[in-house]
Chain A
Amino acid sequence: MSFINYMAREINCKIVYYGPGLCGKTTNLQYIYERTNPEAKGKMISLATETDRTLFFDFLPLALGEIRGFKTRFHLYTVPGQVFYDASRKLILKGVDGVVFVADSQIGRIEANQESVENLRTNLAEQGYSLDKVPYVMQYNKRDLPEIATPEELRELLNPTKVPEYEAVARTGVGVFDTLKAVAKLVLTELKKGGP
């Protein structure tokens, strides 16, 4: 649910990065944080365990520029990917305007990806959203690793509705901004239509 502030002339949108544990959600945000001008970003917050696993969420506020005199601000969140943090994942999806699914391309993680997409669909439905309607893009991450599935295989298993998809290596930044731009565009296009 975006927030339009006529007083401050700004619009705020919430984007959530979803995906199985260790797929690279936090790495996406870290890369965006490192490569964004200081004036366009706020502080990145990570609520993580001592071993740097996301415990609750990461948060990064970004200013993308102006449209028709309105500043566009995007709040990027990640969810904790580990299966047992499901209660936290549900909370973070509240008020979401757009979703990025970060898939781990490694063959050994195919099932974890499938479970996570299903979990996303279920948790969105609990909040009253449909994955088929919410602005949604897919990122196939870790393309630099050996033993990965082909994009075609991943598409067939994870992206049957053929939402925009991007190959990525979040560690080095490949595909990270393409993914962000794609979801931001979909969110703004949805706003144009008059809300999610």
Chain B
Amino acid sequence: MVNPQMVMYEEEFNQIQTVVDRLVKDANAKVVFIVDKNGQLIAASGDVDNLDTTSLASLTAGNIAATGGMAKLLKENEFATQFHEGEKANIHIQLVGNRVILVVIFDAKSSLGLVRLRVRKASEELNHIFEALLKKVQEPGADSPFAEITDEDIDNLFND
């Protein structure tokens, strides 16, 4: 297997959520979310109720993948940071530890400088959390909760 299985436990999730919640406040952001490189949403904070975070997660990952592809062609390792400026909303995308993507959406109440500063600190914290999480996942005995499921369970999912 190339990539280890991504697993999220309660303990690490709470740590990540704390970092993300704080980043919303510290950076004066509207929304902050974290996506894995395959487009799965890991955590979100801020004004997310009116936002299609699932779609945003998938598109962010696509964007990072495309940029990573360009980097490779230029013999760069990665382009770790992206910034898109709109009329009202801006989006700052940061690759963390080459593993997950930290996205900050902000408006005129904040500034790119502040966001970059706060993202840098949050990235370091997140990197530590994800490193620890990865170790935990790779420990023997960390079985999939799906090891116990039966063929019947799977069939039942499709009996509609």
Which A residues are in CB contact (< 8 Å) with B54? 42-43, 61
Closest residue on chain B to residue A193 by CB atoms: B147
**Which of these binds chain A: B7-15, B23-31, B102-110, B115-123?**
B7-15
**Residue of A1, A57, A185 touching B38 (CB-CB under 8 A):** A1
Tell me, yes or no, whether B113 is within 8 Å of chain A by CB.
no
A194 and B143 within 8 A (CB)? yes
Tell me, yes or no, whether B59 is within 8 Å of chain A by CB.
yes
**Which of these binds chain A: B75-83, B90-98, B148-156?**
B148-156
Closest residue on chain A to residue B7 by CB atoms: A4
Tell me, yes or no, whether B145 is within 8 Å of chain A by CB.
yes
Tell me, yes or no, whether B3 is within 8 Å of chain A by CB.
yes
Q: How far is the CA of A192 from the CA of B145 in the complex (A)?
A: 8
Closest residue on chain B to residue A45 by CB atoms: B55
Tell me, yes or no, whether A150 is within 8 Å of chain B by CB.
no
A-B contact count (CB 8 A): 135
B153 and A72 within 8 A (CB)? no
Interface size on B, residues (CB 8 A): 43
B62 and A188 within 8 A (CB)? no
Which A residues are in CB contact (< 8 Å) with B6? 1-4
Which A residues are in CB contact (< 8 Å) with B39? 14, 59, 75, 95
Q: How far is the CA of A45 from the CA of B144 in the complex (A)?
A: 31
B157 and A2 within 8 A (CB)? no
A88 and B5 within 8 A (CB)? no
Tell me, yes or no, whether A163 is within 8 Å of chain B by CB.
no
Which residues 116-147 of B sit at the A interface, judged by CB distance below 8 A?
143-147
A91 and B66 within 8 A (CB)? yes
Contact of A194 with B147 at beta-carbon distance under 8 Å, contacts A14-B38, A67-B153 already known: yes
Tell me, yes or no, whether A145 is within 8 Å of chain B by CB.
no
A7 and B9 within 8 A (CB)? yes
Which residues 45-71 of A sit at the B interface, judged by CB distance below 8 A?
45, 47, 56-57, 59, 61, 64-68, 70
Contact of A196 with B1 at beta-carbon distance under 8 Å, contacts A94-B65, A188-B154 already known: yes
Write the nearest CB–CB distance from B4 to chain A, whole angstroms: 8
A sample of 21 inter-chain contacts (CB < 8 A) reads: A1-B5, A1-B6, A1-B38, A4-B7, A4-B144, A6-B10, A7-B9, A7-B13, A12-B40, A56-B62, A67-B154, A67-B157, A70-B145, A75-B58, A91-B62, A91-B66, A95-B38, A127-B2, A188-B149, A192-B144, A194-B144
Q: A3-B40, A6-B145, A195-B5 are in contact. List 18 more A-B contacts (CB 8 A).
A: A1-B1, A3-B7, A3-B36, A4-B8, A6-B7, A6-B10, A6-B13, A7-B14, A14-B39, A59-B58, A61-B58, A64-B158, A72-B157, A90-B69, A95-B38, A181-B158, A189-B151, A195-B1
Q: What are the 3 tightest A-B residue pairs by CB atom distance, in nearest-first order? A: A95-B38, A128-B2, A7-B13
